[in-house]
Structure 1
C-alpha cells in the first residue's frame, strides 16, 4: 500500500491504513489467498514524483509485492505506475479527474464529472445558485476539474464568474478573498487537496463571507471538516458516494468491524478509507480470477481498460454497472448531513 504520509494528503493516511489492515485481517481469517497469508507492506509516496516513483520501485523490486493499492494526487499517479513498470496491478482508489490511467492501472474512484454535475445542478435548483467562483491548487487535477466544473455550471444554467489557482503551501489568501468579496458569487467551488482545503476553508470562514455565500468542496470529507472547525463551516457543502452519517449502501458490516477494531483511535470511515479497503479485497479477487497469486498475470488482466465497473462487479458490490448514488451533504458541526441523493 502506497500512501503519502506527509504533505496535503497525509491526514487521510491513518484511516486508509486502518481500513486496509481490516481488509487484510478479513482475508487471512478466511484462509488467505490460495492458502497464502496476506501481508500488507506500507510505503510512503511522499510529495514528489521522484519519491513516489522510488517508493513504487522499492515495493516491486525489494519487497516483491503482488499488487499495489495507492491513493495519490493525480500528479504522482504516473510516477507510481512507471515505478512499478507493469510488473503488478496498480489499484488507484482516489476520486480523480477521469480518463484512462494507463495499462495495469485500475481506477476505482468516482470521477469529478459524476459528482460535480449533480451537486451543481442541485445547488442551482434548490439554493438558486447561478454565479460560481472556482478556486483550486495549480496542478493537473484542479486544472482539468476547472473545465469539468464550468461545463456543469453551464449545464445548470449558471455562469463561472471568476477563478484562482493556488500553489501548494500558499497561505496568503488576501488576493483571492478580495476577488471573491468584489465579485460576490453565489457559490465558491473549492478543488483543493487535503490540508490545502482545510487551510482555505478556515480562512474563508474567518473572512465572514460564509454567511452569505455557499461553498462546494470537491474531494472534501469528514476528516477535512474536523480541521476546518464548526465555526468556519457555515454553508459548506460536499458531495461524495459515502458519508459516515449514512452508514448504508451495504457498508454496515465493514463499518461495524472497523469500529470494533479501532474504537476512537482511528478516524471514522470515509469514502477514501473505503476505497483502500476495497482495494485490498480487489487485489485478492484479481488473484482468484487468474487462478494464482502472480503479479504479472494480475496486471495483464487489468491492462485492457479494466475499469471501476469491472472492479465493483468482481467484488460483488451492488450497482456495479451503474453510477453509484451521489450524496450532497451540508456541514453540521463536525459531520455532514445528507440533503439529497441523486
Structure 2
C-alpha cells in the first residue's frame, strides 16, 4: 500500500469533494458562454420580421441578467437572406464551425426546414421562432425541435370557419408558391369547405414576387365572395395596397392570417382599414403581461411590438426555463427537453403550453384593423392543437 501523507490526504479530499458536486467536463464547460446560433433574415422582404424576433429574444434574456442557467450568453448571428438554398450550409456552419448549443430560426419555411434537417442529423437543439411549416412539428418532428410560434394550419383553419360565419360561400386563395403559402391556403380551404364553402381557385406566384396585377385581374373574373391571402413583410404591404387600389374590395372581402397586417400597417395606411385576420396575438390584448411587454419593447427599441417580437420574446422565455432546469448544462439533453416539454410560457399572447409534437397550444384570435392596430374582436378558436400529421411523438 502507498504511504498516505497529510498532503495526499488533503489533495484527495479536495478532488473527491469537487467530483461529488461538479463533473470535471461540465466545470470546464461552465467557463464558456452558452452559444446561441441565431439564423434570421436581416435583409430582404422579411428583414423587419427578423429584427423584431431578434430584439424580442434579447429582451427576454436581458430581463434575466443575460444569463441562461447562470452562464453568460453569446449570440452568433447569421443573415439567412430567406434563401432555402443556403439554409443547410448556414446551419451546418453554426453547428460544426461555431459549436452552438442551440439553433434559433427562422422566418422563411424553406430555410426552417433546412435547419430542421441539420438539427435532426446532429441532435442539436432547435427552436423555431416563426416559420409555421406544418412538417416541422408534423412528419419531421423530433424531441430536440420546438416551435414557439404557430403552425400554418393552426392560424389559417380558423379563418375558414370565420369566413363562413361572415356569410361567405365562394372563395379564392392566393399566396406565394412555397410551403408556408400553400399550407396556409389549403388549411383555410379545409376550414371553409368543412361548413359547405367552395374554393373556386388557389392562385400562387413565385417567392418573393410582388407584381400582383395579373392575379387581381384573374380574381376579378372569378368574382368570389371572399379572398384569403397569405403574404408577409413587404409583400403583404404591397398586396393589401394593390387590392384596395383595384376596387375589388367593393364586391368581395379580403381576409387572411394575421401576417397580412402584422408589422405592415404603417406601410399599408388606409388600405388595410377594417381588414379581418386570424392570429395567435393581437396588439391590444388586455393581458397584464402584454401591456408590460409592449411598454418594455417600445422603451428598448423605439418601435411598437408585433407578433414577431412576441415570438422572439417567448423563445427567450423557453430557453430560460429549460436552461435553468439543468443549471446551464445543455449536454443534459433529456432533462432539458423534459423541462421544455412541461413548460408553461407566460406570453404576451396569453399563457400557453406545448403539444406532444412541441407546437404551442394556444387561442387563435379574430382581429380587425382599426387605424394602426390589429384590434382583437373575438376568439376564432380556443386552445387550438395542431393536428401534427405524421408526427410519431404525437401518437
TM-score, normalised by the number of residues in structure 2 = 0.75
CA contact (8 A) 1:88 1:299 kept: no
User: Following the alignment from structure 2 to structure 1, what is the Cα–Cα distance between the partners of residues 236 and 299?
Assistant: 30
Equivalent in the alignment of 1:335:
373
1:198 maps onto 2:233 in alignment: no
For the aligned residues, what is the CA RMSD? Answer: 2.7
Distance 1:319 1:107, change over 3 A: closer
| 3-state DSSP of counterpart to 1:251 | helix
Pick which of 276-285 and 115-124 moved more: 115-124
Ranges in structure 2 where 5+ consecutive residues have no aligned partner: 1-37, 356-360, 381-395
Ranges in structure 1 where 5+ consecutive residues have no aligned partner: none
CA contact (8 A) 2:152 2:183 kept: no
Query: What is the aligned length?
Result: 330
Equivalent in the alignment of 1:116:
156
Higher RCO, 1 vs 2 (CA within 8 Å, ≥6 residues apart):
1
Q: Which has the higher strand share?
A: 2
Equivalent in the alignment of 1:163:
202
Equivalent in the alignment of 1:76:
111
Pick which of 137-146 and 52-61 moved more: 52-61
Per-residue CA deviations over 1:47-82 (Å, capped at 9, x if unaligned) read 222433333233223433221221222111122234
1:278 maps onto 2:278 in alignment: no
CA contact (8 A) 1:133 1:188 kept: yes
1:33 maps onto 2:72 in alignment: no
1:60 maps onto 2:98 in alignment: no
Deviation at 1:272, TM superposition (A): 1.7
CA contact (8 A) 1:242 1:327 kept: yes
Distance 1:140 1:253, change over 3 A: same
1:131 maps onto 2:170 in alignment: yes
Equivalent in the alignment of 1:318:
351
User: Following the alignment from structure 1 to structure 2, what is the Cα–Cα distance between the partners of residues 97 and 34?
Assistant: 30
CA contact (8 A) 1:185 1:213 kept: yes
Deviation at 1:169, TM superposition (A): 3.6
TM-score, normalised by the number of residues in structure 1 = 0.86
| 3-state DSSP of counterpart to 1:292 | coil
| 3-state DSSP of counterpart to 2:76 | coil
CA contact (8 A) 1:214 1:235 kept: no
CA contact (8 A) 1:60 1:87 kept: no
Which is higher, the Rg of structure 1 or of structure 2? 2
Per-residue CA deviations over 1:66-99 (Å, capped at 9, x if unaligned) read 2122122211112223445435311012251422
